[in-house]
C-alpha cells in the first residue's frame, strides 16, 4: 500500500485526490503525505524546466495569489518549493485600490505601490518583491501561461518557457469585458481598469481631460466616477439599467446614491444603449453615441461593464456552464488531481445557501486562497463555508465633504425594509420567508459593521412590521439583534 501512496504523491502533490460527488453537500476527504517525498522527487527531475521551485505553482498575480503565498509561508512550505507565474510586472497587490485611492489626483495623496501590496488589505505584512525573495518564492513576471499538459504536469508560457508543477493553483481572476473594436472599443482615450498599467494609462488621460464618460453603473462605474469628482471633471455615468448597482441595490437605495452623486456634479444617463464610441479628427475618442442618435461629448471614456473569468488555457480542467469559471469542490479541488482554482475564477459550492456560485470580490479571493492552501498542506478537510460580503468606499479623497462606505453581508433575496437616510446613515434588510437573509449598512460604526455578518449568518426570524416601524437605523439593528438572540 505504501508504494501506491508514494506513486500517487509523486504525481499529485501533498493533497491526494479522492473522487467526489457533484453534490454541494458531499465533499471528499483528502489524504496527506510527507513533504520529504517532494524533496526526493524534485531533486531527480530534469533541469530543462524554467522554474526551479516546482513543487507548487500558482498561476496568477492578483489578490488570491498573494494570500496563497502567505499561507504557504505560514506552513513552512514556500522556501524553494513555490513558484508564482504572473502576466503582471508586479508582485501581488490589493487590486481594489486601483479604482479607489490610486485614481486620486496627485495633490490628494493617491495610493501607490509598494503601499498596497498584499496582504495589507487584511492587516497583514506588506509583501514587497524583497519579501518573496526572502521567503524563497520564485516569481516569473510578464509571461502568462499559454498551455497546460495535465498528463505531464507541465505549463508552457507565452515566451515558450516550460514549467513543471506538482500541485497547481489557478488564480487567474477575471479579465475586463471590452467593447468591440468596430464600435470604438480600443480608441485612444478609452480605458478599462484591471491592473496597474491600466490605471496609470487612465491617470494620464485624466490629467489632460475635461469631460469623462463612465460606462456602467456597477462597482467600477461608481468608484471611477467618485474619483473623477476629485479631479473636478465633467462626469457622466451611462448604463442600460433603471438604477445603479442593480445586482444589489434596491431602486430606493440606488436613488439615494444617485442623488448624492448628483450633489457632487455627476450626471446620469439611465436606460441607455450605446451604439458606438466616436473618434475626433485626431483619432482620439470624442464622444459616446447612443442608440437614439444623441452624442455625449467625452475626451476620456472608462468602460466598467463587468468581467469574464480568465480561464485561458485551463478549459480542459473543467468549466461550469451556469456561473462560468472553473468548477471546484469545497476544498477548491478541480476534477483533475493536483489542480486547484481559487478567487474570481472558481465556481465553488456556497454552503450556506446550497448552490454553486462565483464571487468576484477581494474578500472571497483572500479567504478562498487561505482555505485552499490549508487544505492542500494539512489534514484540514472542512468545507469552505463562505458568507458573501460586498463593500465599497468612495469620495475618500482629501477635502471631500462626505466619505461613503457601505458593507453588505448575506443574500439579497426576498422583500426589503429600508430604514434611515444619508443623514446620518441608512440600512436595508432583506427578509425571505420571515428570516433575515441579508443586510446592508451605510456609514455605520465599527461595532455595527461587526454585527452584520452575525445577523446574516444566523438568519433570525424577524417581525417585519416591527422593523418597518423603526425610527432609526440604531433601533432597527437592535430589533434584528434581539431577534437573533431570541
C-alpha cell at 152: 505531464
Instruction: Tell me the C-alpha distance between 255 and 473, whole Å.
Output: 18
Q: What is the CATH number of domain 2-175+308-377?
A: 3.50.50.60
How far apart are the C-alpha atoms of 139 and 156, rounded to whole Å? Answer: 15
Listed by start position, the domains of the chain span: 2-175+308-377, 181-305, 403-485
Compute mean pLDDT per 10 residues along the chain, 486 residues long, and list them.
31 32 37 36 57 95 97 97 97 96 94 97 96 98 97 96 97 97 97 97 97 97 97 97 96 95 96 97 97 97 96 96 97 97 98 97 98 94 96 92 94 96 92 97 95 97 95 95 83
User: Matching CATH topology for 181-305 and 403-485?
Assistant: no
Region of 108 on the Ramachandran plot (φ > 0 left; ψ -120 to 50 alpha; else beta): alpha
Fold category of 181-305 in CATH: FAD/NAD(P)-binding domain (3.50.50)
Q: What is the pLDDT of residue 486?
A: 63
Give the pLDDT of residue 27: 35
The answer to whether the pTM exceeds 0.85 is yes
Predicted confidence at residue 484, as pLDDT, reads 80
Q: What span, in angstroms and rounded, lies between the C-alpha atoms of 341 and 348?
A: 9
Burial class (CB in 10 A: 0-12, 13-18, 19+), 424: exposed
Burial class (CB in 10 A: 0-12, 13-18, 19+), 48: exposed
Q: What is the pLDDT of residue 381?
A: 86
pLDDT for 39 = 36
Quote the pLDDT of residue 47: 54
CATH class of 403-485: alpha beta
State how far the Cα of 103 lies from the Cα of 171, in Å rounded to an integer. Answer: 25
Amino acid at each position: 500500500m505504501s508504494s501506491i501512496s508514494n506513486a500517487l504523491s509523486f504525481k499529485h502533490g501533498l493533497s491526494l485526490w479522492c473522487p467526489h460527488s457533484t453534490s454541494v453537500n458531499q465533499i471528499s476527504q483528502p489524504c496527506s503525505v510527507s513533504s520529504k517525498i517532494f524533496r526526493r522527487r524534485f531533486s531527480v527531475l530534469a533541469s530543462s524546466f524554467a522554474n526551479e521551485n516546482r513543487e507548487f505553482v500558482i498561476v496568477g498575480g492578483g489578490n488570491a495569489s498573494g494570500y496563497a503565498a502567505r499561507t504557504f509561508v505560514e506552513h513552512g512550505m514556500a522556501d524553494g518549493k513555490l513558484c508564482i507565474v504572473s502576466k503582471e510586472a508586479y508582485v501581488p497587490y490589493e487590486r481594489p485600490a486601483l479604482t479607489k485611492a490610486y485614481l486620486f489626483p496627485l495633490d490628494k495623496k493617491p495610493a501607490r505601490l509598494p503601499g498596497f501590496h498584499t496582504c495589507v488589505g487584511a492587516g497583514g505584512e506588506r509583501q514587497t518583491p524583497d519579501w518573496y525573495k526572502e521567503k524563497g518564492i520564485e516569481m516569473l513576471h510578464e509571461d502568462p501561461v499559454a498551455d497546460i499538459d495535465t498528463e505531464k504536469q507541465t505549463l508552457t508560457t507565452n515566451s515558450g518557457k516550460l514549467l513543471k508543477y506538482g500541485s497547481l493553483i489557478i488564480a487567474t481572476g477575471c479579465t475586463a469585458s471590452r467593447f468591440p473594436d468596430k464600435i470604438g472599443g480600443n480608441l485612444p482615450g478609452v480605458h478599462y481598469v484591471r491592473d496597474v498599467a491600466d490605471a496609470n494609462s487612465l491617470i494620464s488621460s485624466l490629467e489632460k481631460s475635461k469631460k469623462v464618460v463612465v460606462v456602467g453603473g456597477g462597482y467600477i462605474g461608481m468608484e471611477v466616477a467618485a474619483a473623477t469628482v476629485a479631479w473636478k471633471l465633467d462626469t457622466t455615468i451611462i448604463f442600460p439599467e433603471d438604477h445603479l448597482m442593480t445586482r444589489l441595490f434596491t431602486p430606493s437605495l440606488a436613488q439615494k446614491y444617485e442623488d448624492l452623486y448628483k450633489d457632487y456634479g455627476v450626471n446620469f444617463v439611465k436606460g441607455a444603449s450605446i451604439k458606438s464610441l466616436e473618434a475626433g479628427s485626431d483619432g482620439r475618442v470624442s464622444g459616446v453615441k447612443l442608440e437614439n442618435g444623441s452624442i455625449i461629448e467625452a475626451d476620456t471614456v472608462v468602460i466598467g461593464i463587468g468581467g469574464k473569468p480568465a480561464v485561458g488555457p485551463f478549459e480542459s480542467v473543467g468549466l461550469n456552464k451556469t456561473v462560468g469559471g472553473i468548477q471546484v469542490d469545497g476544498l477548491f479541488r478541480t476534477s483533475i488531481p493536483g489542480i486547484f482554482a481559487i478567487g474570481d475564477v472558481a465556481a465553488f459550492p456556497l454552503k450556506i445557501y446550497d448552490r454553486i456560485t462565483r464571487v468576484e470580490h477581494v474578500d472571497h479571493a483572500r479567504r478562498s486562497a487561505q482555505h485552499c492552501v490549508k487544505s492542500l498542506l494539512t489534514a484540514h478537510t472542512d468545507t469552505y463555508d463562505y458568507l458573501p460580503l460586498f463593500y465599497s468606499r468612495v469620495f475618500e479623497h482629501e477635502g471631500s465633504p462626505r466619505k461613503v462606505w457601505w458593507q453588505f453581508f448575506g443574500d439579497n433575496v426576498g422583500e426589503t425594509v429600508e430604514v434611515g437616510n444619508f443623514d446620518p446613515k441608512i440600512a436595508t434588510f432583506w427578509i425571505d420567508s420571515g428570516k433575515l437573509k441579508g443586510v446592508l449598512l451605510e456609514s455605520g460604526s465599527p461595532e455595527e459593521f461587526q454585527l452584520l455578518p452575525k445577523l446574516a449568518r444566523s438568519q433570525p426570524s424577524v417581525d417585519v412590521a416591527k422593523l418597518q416601524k423603526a425610527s432609526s437605523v440604531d433601533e432597527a439593528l437592535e430589533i434584528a439583534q434581539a431577534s437573533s438572540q431570541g
